[in-house]
């Protein structure tokens, strides 16, 4: 498995490496569990990643799954602060954790709470994580061009 990822990684240009890493990271943080894989695939396709880029993006997506799960309450409460539905971040985190516990007791009864929680989290992701991806991409483009000079020689970086 790691050999396939390595082969895919080395087949990419510097720009494609940066795009794959950013798509995998930012879309891997999408706050609805189980949806990150198709989100990574869609954004990868929209950005024109080749097959190797999709492999690298999905590998990053899977690698940050623990960060994704851990970050959902924070994204939800951050979105609540942005939308004005939450005034106290600490209390909000406690409420989200309680909602997660309530799922074990009454799965259907928690659907309205989860809908609000996920809408807030998606709002936060859209407003904070996506622009952060642009910044990360800018930094990564410098790092990747220095660490992988051979990748910088691909056609998409050559000046006419």
- At 95-106, the pLDDT tens digits run 888 888 888 888
Q: Identify the DSSP state of 153.
A: G
Contact call for residues 57 and 40 (beta carbons, < 8 A): yes
Q: Is the predicted pLDDT of residue 69 greater than 90, yes or no?
A: no
Q: Is the predicted pLDDT of residue 158 greater than 80, yes or no?
A: no
Across residues 145-160, what is the average pLDDT?
61
- Which range among 8-17, 28-37, 94-103, 151-160 has the greatest average pLDDT? 28-37
**For position 61, what pLDDT does the model report?**
95
Whole-model pTM?
0.81
Q: Is the predicted pLDDT of residue 160 greater than 50, yes or no?
A: no
d(CA 47, CA 61): 16
């Amino acid at each position: 498995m790691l050999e396939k990822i390595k082969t895919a990684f080395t087949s990419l240009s510097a720009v494609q490496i940066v795009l794959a890493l950013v798509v995998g990271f930012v879309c891997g943080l999408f706050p609805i569990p189980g949806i990150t894989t198709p989100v990574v695939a869609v954004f990868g396709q929209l950005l024109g990643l080749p097959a190797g880029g999709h492999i690298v993006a999905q590998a990053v997506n899977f690698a940050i799954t623990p960060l994704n799960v851990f970050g959902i309450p924070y994204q939800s409460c951050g979105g609540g602060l942005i939308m004005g539905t939450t005034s106290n971040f600490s209390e909000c985190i406690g409420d989200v954790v309680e909602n997660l516990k309530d799922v074990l007791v009454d799965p259907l009864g928690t659907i309205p709470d989860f809908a609000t929680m996920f809408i807030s989290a998606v709002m936060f992701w859209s407003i904070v994580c996506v622009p952060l991806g642009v910044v990360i991409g800018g930094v990564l483009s410098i790092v990747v061009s220095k660490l992988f000079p051979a990748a910088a020689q691909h056609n998409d970086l050559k000046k006419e």
